[in-house]
Amino acid sequence: MERSEIITKLQKKAISIRYEIIKMIGKAGSGHPGGSLSSADIGVALFFYQMRYQADNPKWEKRDRFILSKGHAAPLLYALLAQANFFDKKHLSTFRQYKSILQGHPASYLTPGVEVSTGSLGQGLSIAVGIALAGKMDKKSYNVYTLHGDGELDEGQIWESAMFASHKKLDNLCAIIDRNHLQIDGVTEVVMALEPLVQKWQAFGWHTIAIDGHNIGQIISAFDEFLTIKDKPTVIIAKTVKGKGVSFMENKAKWHGKAPKGELLKKALKELSTKKD
């Protein structure tokens, strides 16, 4: 398949994933749309271009590992897993319901394809570092991918893990930062300034790639580049728009963890449905 065809296919999938995210959260009446929508293009490129896995054998030994460190973006992960056939899509309508396999944050003991239970911000990179180190020690060929919110970088544990990963030369580890500049309390640079972010990661010994997180071509090129890097971990800093794809949610911190209802839900689904078709 030509690269242009791959990009077009992934772009269509991303719109479909966004539609499922809003439908899921709307039905549940709660959830986190902002950061789920901003990461959709990244997630689609990971699951349908980059990662090796077997949906009918979630614990396949040679699988690449994905850890959603920002566990509140579970709607994104569930939509991706359903699209990849880890479970029947009918389960998406049970999101956040009692006894559903799709709870508000990912639970590895409930949901096929969920590598690690997440929710407490800052912990995902530490877990990923351990898995990547184990892969090196056992001479396994898998790669480990993590997805983080930029507000999550306020957690000190992130930077401890970053130091350890570069010290151990974990070139099988790729962290992706959803750099949408907003967190639950507002603008990241007001809450806790992160810039200069590229230089920070470089100073910690990481190979650093800065991209437009909604440009599928740039995303898959960054993943291709990661596979060529030796003796250091890679971080992809993806500039995104919180709430991407739904006009009234874009760049609005209030939609970090708020479900659209009534006419706003209808409007969001209509916007995405028009793009999807």
Output the domain CATH number for residue 53: 3.40.50.970
The average pLDDT across 132-155 equals 98
Number of domains in the chain: 1
The closest of 244, 240, 69 to 154, measured between CA atoms, is 69
Residue listed under structure tokens 């902002």: 34
pLDDT category, 7, cuts 50, 70, 90?
very high
pLDDT category, 274, cuts 50, 70, 90?
confident
- Judged against a pLDDT cut of 80, whether residue 247 lies above it is answered with yes
Cα(260)–Cα(246) distance, rounded to whole angstroms?
A: 11
Query: What is the reported pLDDT for 165?
Result: 98
**CA geometry: angle 54, 56, 57, nearest 5 deg:** 65
Note down the domain range covering 26. Answer: 3-276
Cα(155)–Cα(222) distance, rounded to whole angstroms?
A: 25
**CA geometry: angle 126, 257, 36, nearest 5 deg:** 60
Residues 6+ apart with CB under 8 A from 47: 66, 80, 83, 84
Query: What is the reported pLDDT for 277?
Result: 58
Cα(194)–Cα(227) distance, rounded to whole angstroms?
A: 27
- Judged against a pLDDT cut of 80, whether residue 225 lies above it is answered with yes
Contact present, 44 and 13 (Cβ < 8 Å): yes
Cα 83 to Cα 45, 136, 161, distances in angstroms = 13, 30, 31
Average pLDDT in the chain: 97
Q: How many CB atoms lie within 10 A of CB 1?
A: 7
pLDDT category, 144, cuts 50, 70, 90?
very high
The closest of 266, 264, 259, 262 to 24, measured between CA atoms, is 259
pLDDT category, 186, cuts 50, 70, 90?
very high
Query: What are the tens digits of pLDDT across the range 74-105?
Result: 999 999 999 999 999 999 999 999 999 999 99
Cα(134)–Cα(93) distance, rounded to whole angstroms?
A: 36
Considering the chain, what percentage of its residues have pLDDT values greater than 90? 98
Say which amino acid occupies 107: A
- Judged against a pLDDT cut of 80, whether residue 19 lies above it is answered with yes
Phi, psi (rounded to 5 degrees) for 161: -65, -40
